[in-house]
Amino acid sequence: MHITQLNRECLLHLFSFLDKNSRKNLAKTCHKLLEVFQDPLLWSLLNFHSPVELKKDNFLLGPALKYLSICWYSERVKVCNIEDWMKNSFQRDFCNRHENTVSDFLLEVCNRCPNLLSLTLSGCGHVTDDCIVLLLQSCPKLRTLKLENCVRITDRSLRAVTLHGGALHTLHVDFCRNITQAGLETVREKCPSVLLRAERSANMIPDSRPEKKLMLEKVSRKLVQL
């Protein structure tokens, strides 16, 4: 039996075992397999492991998407987690490309995936409060939100959880150094049913410009003298 003689359900099941590139390549072989590739039921879960993957045309975004994970830990993208004022011109250009890629992709998710249930964002310093606020507003069914090492996330995202995260059950904000203890307490107070985890976040010291650190040191010395 040739693969194209299988019914739609069997083909969808076979496609589900393939990665995104393999699905795309197989879809190029005939119209019937292309139709299977374009079936929304095939795209309820998406995992990405580099910024480059977000720009490929080997996947579909749509209302069927329920579980989305964008995680990368490459040595090349560690620069994304450096404070902007510490970057040289090359690093800024590099990060600007990542920032546009991530923000454009998440905007598409907001516009096309209202039934999203779970979102994991890890390892990229370009996820902003604006992205999280819009996602919470656009995906009212979101039950799980996991943020790890998203250095630009602040208490503003936590406030958005209390306002728009009515369906949220699990919230992780691990290693997000600009999250404060006060922001975490607000979530615990206003959303007691949410399972909140914030490993190291409120205990991490945000990077500061050298002149700001110097000013703080002078203030500390004056207080000691008094």
* pLDDT at residue 101, as a whole number: 85
Q: Measuring CA to CA, which residue among 201, 150, 209, 213 is closest to residue 177?
A: 201
- Find the length of the chain: 226
Task: Provide the 10 A C-beta neighbour count for residue 214.
Answer: 11
How high is the mean pLDDT of the chain? 85
161 vs 224: CA distance, rounded Å: 40
Given pLDDT bands bounded at 50, 70 and 90, which one contains residue 151? confident
Q: Average pLDDT, stretch 105-127?
A: 92
| CB contact at 8 A, 15 and 23 | yes
Residue 210 pLDDT more than 90? no
User: With 90 as the cut, is the pLDDT of residue 225 above it?
Assistant: no
Where do the structural domains in the chain lie, given as residue ranges? 1-42, 44-224
Which CATH number among 3.80.10, 3.30.1050, 3.90.320, 1.10.510 corresponds to the domain 44-224? 3.80.10
pTM: 0.80
CA 30 → CA 6, 39, 41, 118, 206, distances in Å? 14, 15, 19, 33, 54
| CATH number corresponding to 1-42 | 1.20.1280
**DSSP calls for 130-154:** HHHHHHHHH-TT--EEEEES-TT--
Model confidence at 142: pLDDT above 80: yes
User: Cα–Cα distance between 12 and 33 in angstroms, integer?
Assistant: 9
